[in-house]
Homo-oligomer: A and B are copies of this chain.
Amino acid sequence: MSKSIFYHAGCPVCVSAEHDILELVGSENVEVVHLGEDTSRIPEAETTGVQSVPALVTPNGNALHINFGASMADLKA
């Protein structure tokens, strides 16, 4: 299977989603790209349909935008 690409920007919500995605899909199957640090890859992300982060681009080219809602526990922390 080709790799998926997980685009994020380093925010806590992104990191939490990243942890879940890597665990579910398998870290060996996902390339993680930090668009805040590696801005040269933003055009590539846009080309594949990424409109917001965190997002997962699947091997078949679909951009899944992942919106991990903040949990109540996070809000209380």
A interface list, Cβ under 8 A from B: 4, 16-17, 20-21, 23-25, 29, 49, 51, 56, 58, 60, 62-69, 71
Question: Which residue from chain B places its CB closest to the CB of A73 in the assembled complex?
Answer: B61
The main secondary structure of chain A at its interface with chain B is mixed
Tell whether, in the assembled complex, residue B16 and residue A58 are in contact, meaning their CB atoms are under 8 Å apart: no
Lowest 7 CB-CB distances: which A-B pairs, in order?
A: A65-B67, A20-B58, A24-B25, A64-B66, A64-B68, A20-B62, A66-B66
Q: How far is the CB of A2 from chain B (nearest CB, A)?
A: 11
| Closest partner residue, chain B, to A24 (CB atom) | B25
CB of A49 to closest CB in B, whole Å: 6
In the complex formed, the residue of B with least CB distance to A65 is B67
